[in-house]
Structures are given as C-alpha cells and as structure tokens.
C-alpha cells in the first residue's frame, strides 16, 4: 500500500498537448524562471514524428515552442546532459544535438526568436544498417563528454564518438536484445534487456561484458524486459533497474547474484509487494528525497522515482512504503527530475498531456 497522505502535497500543473508524447526531458536553463524542456512527439492523425523544445512560463501552465526537428521515424529513446541531447529512432538511427543554452540561444530574453518556431539540426547523425538493424532500444550520453552509447533489438552495442564515427563494442548477431543502457564511468556502462538480465561493460576490457546478472531470482517472470537503468554518481557499484510486472531492483556488483528487490510481483512470500503490476517505464534516483533524508545509511539503496503503464508516479525507498505522487487513469510514459531544482518533476502522459509537479 502506497503512502498518499503527504504532509504537504506537491503542486500539480497540467498542460494539454496536441500530440502523443513518447518521452520528455528537462533542459538546462539560465534562470529558474525560464525553464525549458524537450519532448519526442507523434501525431497519430498524420503519422508524423517530431522532436520539439518548449519554454515554460513561470506559472508552469503555458508552454511556447522554440525549436523543432522532424526525425526519419518515431523516437525510441531520448537522453540529455547539460550540453547535449540524443534521440534514437525505430529505424535504427541516432541524432545528437547541442542544447539551446550551449548554442547561447536561451537567455533571459527570448525575443530574438521572433515568436516563431526555429528548425534545429543535429550536430551528429549516424544512420545505416552497419550501425543498427531495426529499433534502437536505448541510448545514453556521457556526462561531460561527447561519447554516446547505443543498444538495439539487433543485439548490437555501439559507441558513437565525436564527429559521428562509431565503433562496435559487441554484436549479439540477433541472439540477444538490449532495451536500456546507462554510463557508470567514462569507461564503463550497464545494459539491460530480456529476462531481467543486466550486463556490465568495461571499454578497457573489450570483447564481452565483464560481469552479468541473470534474472533467475525471479521465478516465473524471467521473460520480462528491463526498460530503464540508472546509476548514482556517488555509488557507481550499484545499478537501479525497472521493467516488466512492476519490477524495480538494484544490482550491487559486490554481491552480483543477490539483487535487492524494491518492487516485484514474484512468487516468493518474501518479495516486496509491487507498487505497480504493469510495465515500469522509467526509474531515476531521486536527489530531492535523498536531500530530505540526509541520514540514509551507505548500505541502503538511495530513494528512487518510477513511472508506470498503469499511471503511477511514485518514490520508492528500501524498507519503506512507497510514496505515491500521481495516480493517473492512463500510462505515464516518461518523467524527468530537474537537475537544477530536483523538487520539479515533468511527466508525459499517454492521453496527450504534460504534468509538472513542484514538491514543497
């Protein structure tokens, strides 16, 4: 049972949108009063995808389109850093852009845009069957660098470097499939896919993953898929993952075959009851809740936020009842916690709307 009786509930702002929103990310802003975000959209009437940057007014009730771009197909994954953002597609292409702040476009005065939506262009595009065959399941940009790692349904793991070149890290030749990836350090990253499996890769030891976690712990649901991975910069040995059947768990490299279950259906009576019984689309460590609980033991998993197919947005803490922030009548496809102000969370809903939560 989730806790819903917060001492002071978050302020909730709902902004209807004319298109389906696949993913959404905050972008760095020079001022807390001039926030902006990027979203990947799909117009179901005309079957056209788009990538759009909007500014958000201080009341968090109105958005203004600033930039747009039409990708070759629907966006499959969207990630951002303070200087770059990357979008992959269902056709297997990858496109990297500079953020508006990096281009010195966003400032306290946006009147130079003339009230019209400008067309943005990627600084790097990688396309072709040599790169990926079919959909790219996940991408991640290295913090403070330009390298981008991509994983796909074709079992390929690729590293995209500056100026659009790439090198193959691994090729599963279609025998495996990857759906999520996350950098852990400048030379290490984690991938996830079918069977609740995770793989730890080290570029200094090429050829294969240096460590693997197999989902044999989850009796009866090993056919599930990992949808999202996060790694906290202060605890790089621990990987957080979310996926099918409401499953959220942590993988500690120091105890590689003993996952720490935060939410799961499972068949064992000792398993934690799931907050959601559907797909967990995204997981992120919640720096805001961590700051409120500064006495968290180093042996405990840090608080995490999740969103799910059955409309749940909640914070999960190890050994505690989860805190429910939203319970929507439709799927929450994606969310992002503002790095500059972690009390603000932006979500994309299946029913063509954006929800912004401001926590006290």
Please report, in angstroms and rounded to a whole number, the separation of the first and last CA atoms in the chain. Answer: 23
Q: Whole-number mean pLDDT of the chain? A: 88
pLDDT by residue (tens digit) across 105-117? 554 444 435 557 8
pLDDT at position 66, please?
94
pLDDT by residue (tens digit) across 122-141? 999 999 999 999 999 999 99
- Report the DSSP beta bridge partners of residue 240: 230, 250
Confidence grade of residue 344 (pLDDT, cut at 50, 70, 90) = very high
- Report the DSSP beta bridge partners of residue 13: 356
Determine contact, residues 243/213, Cβ cutoff 8 Å. no
- Report the DSSP beta bridge partners of residue 214: none
**One-character DSSP codes across 18-68:** SSEEEEEEEE--SSTTSEEEEEEEEETTTTEEEEEEEEE-TTSS-EEEEEE
The token duo for 312 is 């749940």
Query: Which pTM was predicted?
Result: 0.91
pLDDT at position 162, please?
74
Confidence grade of residue 6 (pLDDT, cut at 50, 70, 90) = low
The CA distance from 141 to 80, in Å, is: 7
pLDDT at position 254, please?
81
pLDDT by residue (tens digit) across 20-53? 999 999 999 877 778 999 999 999 999 999 999 9
The CA distance from 356 to 325, in Å, is: 11
Report the range of poorest mean pLDDT among 148-157, 225-234, 251-260: 251-260
Decide if pLDDT at 4 tops 80: no
User: Which 3 state secondary structure label does DSSP give 121?
Assistant: coil
């Amino acid at each position: 049972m989730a806790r819903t009786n917060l001492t002071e509930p978050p302020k909730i702002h709902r902004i209807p949108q004319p298109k389906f929103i696949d993913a959404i990310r905050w972008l760095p802003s020079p001022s807390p009063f001039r926030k902006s975000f990027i979203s990947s959209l799909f117009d179901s009437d005309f079957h056209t995808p788009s990538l759009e940057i909007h500014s958000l007014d201080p009341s968090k009730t109105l958005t203004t389109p600033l930039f747009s771009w039409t990708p070759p197909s629907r966006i499959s994954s969207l990630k951002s850093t303070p200087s770059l953002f990357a979008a992959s597609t269902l056709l297997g292409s990858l496109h990297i852009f500079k953020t508006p702040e990096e281009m010195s476009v966003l400032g306290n005065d946006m009147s130079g845009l003339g009230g019209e939506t400008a067309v943005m262009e990627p600084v790097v595009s990688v396309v072709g069957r040599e790169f990926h065959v079919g959909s790219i399941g996940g991408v991640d940009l290295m913090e403070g660098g330009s390298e981008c790692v991509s994983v796909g349904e074709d079992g390929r793991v690729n590293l995209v470097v500056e100026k659009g070149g790439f090198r193959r890290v691994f090729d599963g030749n279609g025998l495996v499939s990857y759906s999520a990836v996350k950098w852990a350090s400048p030379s290490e990253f984690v991938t996830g896919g079918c069977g609740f499996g995770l793989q730890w890769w080290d570029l200094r030891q090429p050829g294969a993953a240096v460590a693997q976690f197999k989902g044999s712990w989850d009796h009866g649901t090993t056919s599930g898929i990992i949808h999202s991975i996060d790694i906290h910069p202060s605890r790089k040995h621990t990987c957080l993952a979310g996926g099918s059947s409401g499953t959220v768990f942590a993988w500690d490299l120091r105890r590689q075959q003993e996952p720490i279950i935060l939410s799961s259906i499972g068949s064992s009576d000792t398993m934690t009851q799931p907050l959601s019984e559907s797909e967990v689309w995204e997981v992120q460590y919640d720096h805001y809740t961590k700051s409120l609980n500064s006495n968290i033991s180093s042996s405990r998993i840090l608080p995490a936020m999740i969103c799910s197919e059955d409309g749940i947005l909640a914070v999960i803490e190890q050994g505690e009842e989860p805190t429910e922030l939203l319970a929507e009548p439709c799927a929450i496809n994606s969310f992002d916690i503002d790095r500059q102000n972690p009390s603000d969370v932006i979500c994309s809903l299946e029913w063509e709307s954006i929800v912004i939560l401001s926590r006290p």
